Amino acid sequence: MANASEQTPSRVRETALLARLALSDEECERLEPEFDNILTHLESLKELELEEVDRTATVGLQNIFRADEPSPSLPAERLLDSAPSTTDGHYVVPRAVGGKE
């Protein structure tokens, strides 16, 4: 991760695009200091002593497993009816990585 002080509004714009948020140039500019503060805080987490903390540690969860039993799924047509765009029985979604279509 780059140093927070090196972040620019274009980094805010890139993050917004990945999150599917439509931000204006003014919003990106306004959010830049907030974004920098968040990244600075995340960098400070690296200073925590976590060697003795179990990576899979959870707090307060007990017996969270349910029986793994098969059950009928929804018909594909019903699921596709809620999709904004479909082709040949498949969802059509915008490309998430690598540019346009």
The better pLDDT of the pair 18, 8 is held by: 18
Across all residues in the chain, what is the average pLDDT?
A: 82
Residue 40 lies in a domain: yes
Q: Decide: residue 34, CB within 10 A, 0-12 exposed, 13-18 middle, 19+ buried.
A: exposed
Residue 36, domain extent: 1-47
The per-residue pLDDT for 4 is 47
* Residues 12-50: tens digit of each pLDDT: 888 999 999 999 989 988 898 888 899 899 999 889 888
Between CA 26 and CA 6, with CA 31 as vertex, the angle to 5 degrees is: 110
Task: Answer whether residue 70 shows pLDDT above 90.
Answer: yes
Domain-located, residue 68 = no
Q: Is residue 55 part of a domain?
A: no
What is the domain count for the chain? Answer: 1
Instruction: Evaluate whether residue 21 is within a structural domain.
Output: yes
Work out the pLDDT band at 80, boundaries 50, 70, 90. Answer: very high
Q: Are 36 and 8 in contact (CB under 8 A)?
A: no
Structural domain contains residue 89: no
Q: Which helix (H) or strand (E) holds 87?
A: strand 86-87
What does the pLDDT read at residue 1? 46
Residue 92, domain member (yes or no): no
Supply the Cα-derived Rg of the chain in whole angstroms.
21
Q: What is the pLDDT of residue 87?
A: 93
Answer whether residue 14 is part of any domain: yes
